[in-house]
Structure 1
Amino acid sequence: MTDIQPTDAMVREMVRKRHRRRRTLLVSLAAAVVVVAAALVGAGLVRANNTGPGEAPARVPAGATADKAGLAASTGAIRIDLYLDYLCPECRNTEKALAAELETLKAAGDVSVVYHPVTFLDDRSSPEGYSTRAASAAACAADQGRFEEYSAVLFDRQPPEGGPGLSEAQLIAAGEEAGITDGGFAKCVQEAPYTPWVTYVSDAAASRKVALTPTVMVDGDRIEVTGADAAASLTRAVREARG
């Protein structure tokens, strides 16, 4: 057999390919570690978005904030932002853990509670898109003045990841359970006019470096809400913000 001596060009090409494979492997492993870490706590993960959310849609639900990137449930000097995905199990836990304390804080009159229904887990349903459908329906509930009540029902009925999610009929029925009686709600869910707004809210969140759900911020500072006493963390953060 005749030995083939590699040329300089061949050697450079082999080295280049080896380095490329190594970079690809490292990037894949890093991404896998982040995804697994998010899955372990039942959280939602979103890709980074450094380009900004783009132009806000013309139609937004009742209660939308001035920047159209959230829904204001109350007004006050101290701002509380909650980023939640309706398919995120840890978001369900957080919503339940904070519900009573949020009501207490709102009754005191010094907090502005802003909800951001995001769709980081759209690809975790089959077919994809349940997070968007649920958030769009929640926006319809906001038009009826029942956003928080409807959100609570959606989390109570939260479907498992990997399935189709709640059907259109089930999303409409959830409105009845939340106290919505106006027939316009069903039409809104069916027509889904707030899908562009939901996309905008999610893109705005990602552009603000919100990469996981649940994320809760008090006056712009992120607080820990996945521990043993999320309500205590919230209370402490608000107290510190009051000065």
Structure 2
Amino acid sequence: MQATDTLVREMVQKRHRRRRTLVVSLVAAVVVIGAALVGVGLVRATNVMPDEVPSRVPVAATDDKAGLLASSGGVRVDLYLDYLCPECRNTEKALAGELKKLREGGDVSVVYHPVTFLDNRSSPEGYSTRAASAAACAADQDRFVEYSTVLFDRQPAERGPGLSETQLIEAGRDAGITDAAFGECVRAGTYTPWVRYVSDVAASRKVALTPTVMVDGKRVDVTGADAVGALTRAVTEARG
């Protein structure tokens, strides 16, 4: 039994090093047959779609209201990101140049999904929601991508309080936002219901890891050393 426990711990640790996982419960029993791991935990995924779309969504929301459309085209690239997720920060930095090319190329729909999977990793809880809601406010100012870049550059450590309301508003100025309506939107938490809806829809689509990148519905591993190459090949294949 001790050997089994050690195997479980090692595999869980390896998985966490590669990607952040939202874990809602541990499997009650682990069955090991011939040193094969059957299960280590349950992620936040469900087949149940949220019942109701929030009454207010960002200007750039997709038709299904579950993402932010940054460009339009025949091939669709979906990115699920949490602003407290270190691997998301790495992915954002690695893919920034390529994503810009895709957005400007005219034939790819780039859709961002700011999710709140790591709310319980801040103290007090809720930083992922506050940051994602502020990013949605930035989307109303047509500065979502720029604002996301600033948030990841200033990403706080886990278990702390995260950026304050004032800091989230200051980040907007550094992203080129000058409209006072942005600060009002952040202070009001206008898009808190929406980002929770986005997270629930993501879970219903079996997305429980951040970052998750999909090209025409197929997951692409962008956590390796050749993240740009992986994305480029997937888009090229989707273009046919």
Structure 2 length-normalised TM = 0.86
More helix by share: 1
Report whether the alignment pairs 1:177 with 2:177. Answer: no
CA contact (8 A) 2:19 2:211 kept: no
CA contact (8 A) 1:71 1:116 kept: yes
Which amino acid letter does the alignment assign opposite residue 173 of structure 2? Answer: E
Helix, strand or coil for the counterpart of 1:64? Answer: coil
- Counterpart residue number, 1:197: 194
Structure 2 distance, partners of 1:107, 1:34, is 40
Which amino acid letter does the alignment assign opposite residue 210 of structure 2? Answer: T
Helix, strand or coil for the counterpart of 2:173? Answer: helix
Structure 2 distance, partners of 1:157, 1:213, is 18
CA contact (8 A) 1:125 1:164 kept: yes
- Counterpart residue number, 1:108: 105
1:118-177 deviations in whole A, cap 9, x for unaligned? 000000000000000000000000010100000000000000110000000000000000
- Counterpart residue number, 2:20: 43
Matches within 5 A, 1:226-241: 226-241=223-238
- Counterpart residue number, 1:131: 128
Across the aligned residues of Structure 1 and Structure 2, the Cα RMSD in angstroms comes to 1.8
Helix, strand or coil for the counterpart of 2:113? Answer: strand
1:193-218 deviations in whole A, cap 9, x for unaligned? 11000000000000000010000000
1:99: how far off? 0.7
CA contact (8 A) 2:102 2:110 kept: no
Structure 1 distance, partners of 2:58, 2:120, is 24
CA contact (8 A) 2:19 2:209 kept: no
1:21-67 deviations in whole A, cap 9, x for unaligned? xxxxx9xx97x788645532352425222322221111001100000
1:78-107 deviations in whole A, cap 9, x for unaligned? 000000000000000001111100111222
Higher radius of gyration, 1 or 2: 1
Which amino acid letter does the alignment assign opposite residue 188 of structure 1? Answer: C
Change (3 A) 1:92 1:183: same
Helix, strand or coil for the counterpart of 1:116? Answer: strand
Q: Which runs of 5+ in 2 are unaligned?
A: 23-42
- Counterpart residue number, 2:118: 121
Helix, strand or coil for the counterpart of 2:87? Answer: helix
Change (3 A) 1:34 1:80: farther
Helix, strand or coil for the counterpart of 1:65? Answer: coil
Report whether the alignment pairs 1:210 with 2:187. Answer: no
Report whether the alignment pairs 1:225 with 2:222. Answer: yes
Matches within 5 A, 1:36-185: 36-41=13-18, 43-45=20-22, 46-185=43-182
CA contact (8 A) 1:119 1:202 kept: yes
CA contact (8 A) 1:44 1:85 kept: no
Change (3 A) 1:150 1:38: farther
Helix, strand or coil for the counterpart of 2:135? Answer: helix
- Counterpart residue number, 1:7: none
Structure 1 length-normalised TM = 0.85
CA contact (8 A) 2:119 2:127 kept: yes
Helix, strand or coil for the counterpart of 2:112? Answer: strand
Which amino acid letter does the alignment assign opposite residue 138 of structure 2? Answer: A
